Structure 1
């Protein structure tokens, strides 16, 4: 490891905000998430699904989405990551698997972003391996590019994003800024 890199301070959120554009404000996201909740209610048609949140990114979106869904839900979460505080993904690392039985159940898998889809696909496939009869994927946003892994897509999605590094509304910039009430993108 390069010693000069290990003593380097992590980038600051303040500097990132100065080099970013606001893509979506909270008010617009509130409306989209409310609309998603109504669409999910229709898809569930009264069935009590397992609301499975992918931590940490989906915490903010997941809480807001849960309040927008009127159908009764059972809650659990998983923690799987490829980023571990960096801006580029590596191998999938499981920190917590679901505790609730998924056998014969509909799972609403909730995540902040569908970027390339490695994490979401692995979690979705794990739900099916655990016996889920179907897995519906709800994402706050999806990046528009041609690098998405085959076989994963959002059944419900709030907004489409350009292929830039994004943060805020649950998504982080070096583990900072998840609680920003908007979605930002670093300028190219």
Structure 2
């Protein structure tokens, strides 16, 4: 598996440092307020766990799963919710925790869907932002890193359900995903 990684783009240390900074920023912005962190499964789970531990204050956790990719490297443009939230978010501050903002299709749909549930506020924290691939504009309220247009894996991000367990963000060699 490691021979499939072209290079390490973001080290484990840099990830942990930036996640801690995001946690401090969110803690300050929501001091005295209850926050619902919504993890977009499965890719954001590593980031979500580390971020949740770095936020001080009243935080509840929920999970949602939606997809426009399947096992492909290209978005289909059709968004499906596979697992919905367990609790209503009406009247609550919601922070959606996402691994990467790529085309924006999935997140645009998800953010609009959550806003329609009468949340007090809906904001987005994304570990990675890939603006060069954007086809639908999505505002990222809290951003970890801007990344170039490479296929990246690790720290929760996958290709065909592999590589999620890598402790860093790596660039996947093109021959790996072009051969399938």
TM-score between both structures, scaled by the size of structure 2: 0.91
1:39 aligned to which of 9, 25, 30: 25
Paired residues for 1:77-156 under 5 Å: 77-90=63-76, 91-145=78-132, 147-150=134-137, 152-156=138-142
**Equivalent residue, structure 1, for 2:59:** 73
Q: What's the CA shift for 1:85?
A: 2.1
Q: Which runs of 5+ in 2 are unaligned?
A: 175-180
**Equivalent residue, structure 2, for 1:169:** 155
Q: What's the CA shift for 1:15?
A: 5.0
1:50 aligned to which of 13, 19, 36: 36
Structure number with larger C-alpha Rg? 1
TM-score between both structures, scaled by the size of structure 1: 0.87
Q: Which runs of 5+ in 1 are unaligned?
A: 1-12
Q: What's the CA shift for 1:45?
A: 2.0
Matched positions, count: 173
Query: What CA RMSD, in Å, does the superposition of the two structures yield over aligned residues?
Result: 1.4
**Equivalent residue, structure 2, for 1:179:** 165
Distance 1:48 1:33 in 2: 20
Paired residues for 1:16-35 under 5 Å: 16-17=4-5, 20-35=6-21
